[in-house]
């Protein structure tokens, strides 16, 4: 199986104001293997301790995910020949999940990375897809950048820019995002994890170390927001209604 489990931490750093660090585990799933997932603790579109459901991603419908991501690549004008797509995401736990960010690693048949699709969700039930071609550095880190086009946090204005620094799934995986206000860093956020085999034993150990992870994510978002307000971080609000998110491509 190409799919794997990654155990690590999510961390945020707002310079001079606020920091957080939480333990999490994520799955890097080959979308061609998704329908064949049949572990005791992890199921696809079926109930289990952990599950991955198609309707949690993409168009939020009960339909295969790979064709939906392929469509995003075509809309963005990304040349892709039908290679592998890996989805890095948190699974449902006790049938609940909120994924602020899911990343799709889209490779061509020769193994070359063609694009990353960043599926960003907010707590208003909306999502946005940033479809970005990679710029690979010599040390294997993939870098990307784009303008912020989607509301996420009431503590960050819209006129910002994202810089991504990503180590694709291997023995390690890292997804780091730097949010910039001009030349100033407004926020850094990252996930870094170590690979484990996708087995029931590994999943059970990961769950024992983090038994309420998905509930902790949504609770943590609101708890950290309260702490930021108490620290005096400026609350900007949502700033009015937003149109339905659209896929964005950037060089």
Classify 137 as helix, strand or coil: coil
Tens digits of residue pLDDT in 7-55:
999 998 876 667 788 999 999 999 999 988 889 999 999 999 999 999 9
CA distances from 172 to 11, 26, 45, 168 (A): 16, 12, 27, 8
Q: Do the Cβ atoms of 205 and 23 come closer than 8 Å?
A: no
Which residues form the domain of 13? 4-249
Count of domains forming the chain: 1
The count of residues in the chain is: 251
CA dihedral in degrees (49, 52, 56, 58; nearest 10)?
Answer: 170
Residues linked to residue 194 through DSSP beta bridges, in sequence order: 7, 172
| Per-residue model confidence (pLDDT) at position 244 | 47
Nearest to 4 by CA among 87, 119, 103: 87
Tens digits of residue pLDDT in 159-176:
899 999 999 999 999 999
Query: How high does pLDDT run on average in the chain?
Result: 89
């Amino acid at each position: 199986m190409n799919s794997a489990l990654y155990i690590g931490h999510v961390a945020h750093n707002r310079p001079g104001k606020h920091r957080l660090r939480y333990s999490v585990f994520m799955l890097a799933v080959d979308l061609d293997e998704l329908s064949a997932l049949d572990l005791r603790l992890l199921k696809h579109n079926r109930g289990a301790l952990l599950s991955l459901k198609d309707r949690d991603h993409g168009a939020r419908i009960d339909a295969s995910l790979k064709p939906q991501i392929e469509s995003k690549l075509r809309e963005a004008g990304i040349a892709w020949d039908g290679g592998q797509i890996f989805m890095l995401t948190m699974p449902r736990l006790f049938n609940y999940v909120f994924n602020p960010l899911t990343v799709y690693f889209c490779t061509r048949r020769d193994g070359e990375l063609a694009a990353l699709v960043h599926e960003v969700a907010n707590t208003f039930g909306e999502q946005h897809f940033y479809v970005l071609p990679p710029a690979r550095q010599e040390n294997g880190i993939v870098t990307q950048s784009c303008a912020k086009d989607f509301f996420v946090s009431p503590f960050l204005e819209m006129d910002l820019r994202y810089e991504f620094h990503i180590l694709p799934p291997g023995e390690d995986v890292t997804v780091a995002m730097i949010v910039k206000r001009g030349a100033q860093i407004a926020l850094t956020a990252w996930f870094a994890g170590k690979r484990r085999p996708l087995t029931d034993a590994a999943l059970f150990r990961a769950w024992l170390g983090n038994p309420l992870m998905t509930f902790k994510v949504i609770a943590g978002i609101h708890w950290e927001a309260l702490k930021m307000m108490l620290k005096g971080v400026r609350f900007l609000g949502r700033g009015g209604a937003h149109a339905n998110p659209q896929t964005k491509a950037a060089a």
